[in-house]
Chain A
């Protein structure tokens, strides 16, 4: 089964911690690591993390990512209203010779 699986939605309270998961069954996925992107409504995506757990310059320290086997996770602490967005994981699939994206997770800050 190709592709990355994410929960369609996650809801967490203001100033709380949200965790979004990304899983896959194909062992040919992720040889170049997993990346996470944030997409605010009406905007292009923005890179939050790359190669499993690296944060680009300018990304808040409230954002962290990790990976264990065939599961990657994005964690955002101290949630703020501006964190409401769609979040996508992505990875290279060696068997497809293609980049794949998760279906996206809509994060709601209550």
Chain B
């Protein structure tokens, strides 16, 4: 079964850090371009970051550039998102997404809440 399972979300204070993980199964992760997309409560989808299949290239949304880092471990079929200097406006469900003909596989998401 093709699956993406996110973990690592939780409650963190402004200025804090979190590391999200996404475990992939059922497809060839090492040849897949991967993304993080987030959705604030009651709001729309916002693209966050993307990484090439071999990790050689990354792109970030301006809103997270310099604070978030996307990475991957192809040996462990896992995608990561290191989030530093978190802000209240980063509060959202974070989805791990595969890109193959657009965003074709989505995880269930992990909730990140930034609040004091």
The finding on whether chains A and B are genuine partners in a shared complex, rather than unrelated, reads yes
CB contacts (< 8 Å) of B108 on chain A: these are: 44
> Among the listed stretches B24-32, B39-47, B74-82, which one makes contact with chain A, having 4 or more residues with CB under 8 Å of it?
B39-47
CB contacts (< 8 Å) of A88 on chain B: these are: 44-45
For the complex, what is the distance from the CA of A54 to the CA of B50, rounded to whole Å?
23
Known: A88-B44, A104-B44. A98 touches B104 (CB 8 A): no
CB contacts (< 8 Å) of B47 on chain A: these are: 90, 98-101
What 1/0 mask marks residues of chain B from 38 to 61 whose CB sits below 8 Å from any chain A CB?
A: 000000111100100000000101
Known: A35-B102, A50-B104, A88-B45. A99 touches B35 (CB 8 A): yes
Contact A103 B35 (CB under 8 A): no
Contact B103 A103 (CB under 8 A): no
Cβ of B99 to closest chain A Cβ, rounded Å: 9
For the complex, what is the distance from the CA of A45 to the CA of B35, rounded to whole Å?
14
Cβ of A32 to closest chain B Cβ, rounded Å: 8
Report the contact-size class of chain A (Cβ under 8 Å from the partner).
Answer: 20 to 34
A85 contacts B by Cβ under 8 Å: no
Q: Which of B35, B59, B62, B104 contacts A47 (CB 8 A)?
A: B104
Contact A44 B109 (CB under 8 A): yes
A–B Cβ pairs within 8 angstroms, 27 of them: A35-B102, A35-B103, A37-B45, A44-B106, A44-B107, A44-B109, A45-B45, A45-B95, A45-B103, A46-B106, A50-B102, A51-B102, A54-B101, A88-B44, A90-B45, A90-B47, A90-B102, A90-B103, A97-B59, A98-B47, A98-B61, A98-B62, A99-B35, A99-B47, A101-B44, A104-B44, A104-B45
